[in-house]
């Protein structure tokens, strides 16, 4: 049964339309623009925010080491482990090498467009529209994220009824489905709980509500955006490495846009939590792009580990440790130079270099770069193993 709204689902189409969808999803992942299949918002700069969560980060404020940066490891791990089985209702959006090469160019155009948009139009009205947009989007993303966890808390005798939301166009043989979404009572409960968080965020812009939405966006991004091979991952990370460095160090465009956005496009953590409690207003920040972009590469290495059939996940654990190392290095450099840093400047060399060194040591470089995504469902660490069906035995 499909438990995912229409806008979460991948739909097959022509080669050109599939490339457009993948490119749009990748662009959306970077700057929060709507797409037909998946939408995520994020910022590519790690910096410190001296005001409230609803207000914006100061580019040159003095950064401090913050647990918010380590929060970025949680959706990276969980999103990789929760990569969906590839069936008709949960096919992820696959980024090809062509899409990866276009990514920095399209993202740069989008970033520059947003910069000009904030310069020309009133920031107040733009952020009002953004708040309503992310209110709806955040509720759906958070509902999808907590649904598997919430199912454990429902009693066995819970009256779980099935529903279907169907919109069609035309009649007779020309009838075409626009939306076909199946859900149940448990999904409605999760949606209600997520709506409470959404109203809280809309009214207060509280940092906890911001982080709940941010974690949901980043986890779903890692889960639903896939790279088809390691070469594509290197192209994507390499292109965004240049993109991040240029727009942070070369201009003030990225920092200006990040400061202008009043949306859950980052994870924040209060520096003065002990002094002011939940009313803290001095924040450190980590953009969701610094979670999702390395995260989808780490998830690819997990699937490569599984394809080796050695009952180990060496490359996954290595890349995850490299990600933590890159975040730690970013925090250290921020503390030394007292300036906003493009986190991908440190994350990209770590996430690519560490696994590559392991592959060189194990003599598996050829296997790593020749690995291609297959349509076979994968096992993940901690997931229960199912007995193979007769059909799968015949295929083998």
Annotated catalytic residue, options 99, 272, 279, 290: 290
Catalytic residue among 99, 187, 244, 305: 244
- pTM score, whole prediction: 0.72
Instruction: State residue 94's pLDDT score.
Output: 87
* Residue recorded with tokens 């994020």: 42
Does 290 qualify as catalytic in the annotation? yes
- Does the annotation count 187 as an active-site position? no
Whose CA is closest to 316, among 358, 286, 346, 344?
Answer: 358
Give the model's pLDDT for residue 138: 93
| Beta-carbon count within 10 A of 22 CB | 26
Question: Which tokens go with 387?
Answer: 């007995």
Per-residue pLDDT of the chain (396 residues; tens, 9 = 90+): 444 433 333 333 333 334 344 444 443 444 433 332 222 333 333 444 433 333 333 333 333 334 444 555 666 667 666 664 444 345 678 899 999 999 999 999 999 998 998 888 888 888 888 889 989 999 999 999 998 888 888 888 889 899 998 889 888 888 888 888 888 999 999 999 999 999 999 888 888 999 999 999 999 999 888 998 999 999 999 999 999 899 988 888 988 887 787 888 888 878 777 787 777 777 777 888 889 999 999 999 999 999 998 888 999 999 999 999 999 998 899 888 877 788 899 999 999 999 999 999 999 999 999 998 754 444 445 444 444 444 444 444
- In degrees, rounded to 5, the angle at the alpha carbon of residue 39 between the alpha carbons of residues 34 and 29 is 105
Q: How many other C-beta atoms lie within 10 A of the C-beta of residue 182? A: 15
């Amino acid at each position: 049964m499909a438990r995912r709204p229409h806008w979460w689902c991948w739909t097959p189409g022509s080669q050109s339309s599939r490339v457009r969808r993948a490119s749009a999803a990748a662009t959306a992942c970077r700057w929060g623009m709507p797409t037909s299949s998946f939408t995520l918002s994020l910022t590519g700069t790690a910096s410190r925010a001296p005001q409230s969560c609803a207000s914006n980060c100061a580019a040159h404020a003095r950064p401090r080491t913050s647990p918010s940066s380590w929060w970025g490891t949680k959706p990276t791990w969980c999103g990789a482990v929760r990569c969906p089985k590839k069936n008709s209702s949960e096919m992820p959006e696959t980024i090809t090498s062509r899409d990866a090469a276009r990514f920095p160019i399209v993202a740069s155009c989008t970033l520059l467009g947003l910069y000009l948009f904030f310069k020309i139009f009133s920031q107040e009205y733009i952020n009002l529209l953004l708040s309503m947009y992310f209110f709806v989007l955040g509720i759906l993303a958070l509902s999808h994220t907590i649904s598997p966890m919430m199912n454990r808390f429902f009693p066995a005798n819970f009256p779980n009824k099935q529903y279907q939301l169907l919109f069609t166009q035309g009649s007779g043989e020309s009838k075409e489905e626009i939306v076909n979404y199946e859900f149940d009572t448990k999904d409605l409960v999760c949606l209600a709980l997520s709506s409470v968080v959404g109203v809280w965020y809309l009214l207060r812009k509280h940092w906890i509500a911001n982080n709940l939405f941010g974690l949901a966006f980043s986890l779903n991004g890692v889960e639903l955006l896939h790279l088809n091979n390691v070469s594509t991952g290197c192209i994507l990370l390499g292109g965004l490495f240049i993109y991040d460095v240029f727009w942070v160090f070369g201009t003030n465009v990225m920092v200006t846009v990040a400061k202008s956005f009043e949306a859950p496009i980052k994870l924040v953590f209060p520096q003065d939590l002990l002094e002011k409690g939940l009313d803290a207003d001095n924040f450190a920040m980590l953009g969701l792009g610094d979670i999702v972009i390395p995260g989808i590469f780490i998830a690819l290495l997990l699937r490569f580990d599984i394809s080796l059939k050695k009952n180990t996940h060496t490359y996954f654990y290595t890349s995850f440790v490299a990600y933590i190392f890159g975040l730690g290095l970013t925090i250290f450099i921020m503390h030394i130079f007292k300036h906003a840093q493009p986190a991908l400047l440190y994350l990209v060399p770590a996430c690519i270099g560490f696994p590559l060194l392991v592959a060189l040591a194990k003599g598996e470089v050829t296997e790593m770069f020749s690995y291609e995504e297959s349509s076979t469902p994968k096992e993940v660490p901690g997931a229960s193993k199912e007995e193979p069906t007769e059909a799968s035995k015949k295929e083998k």
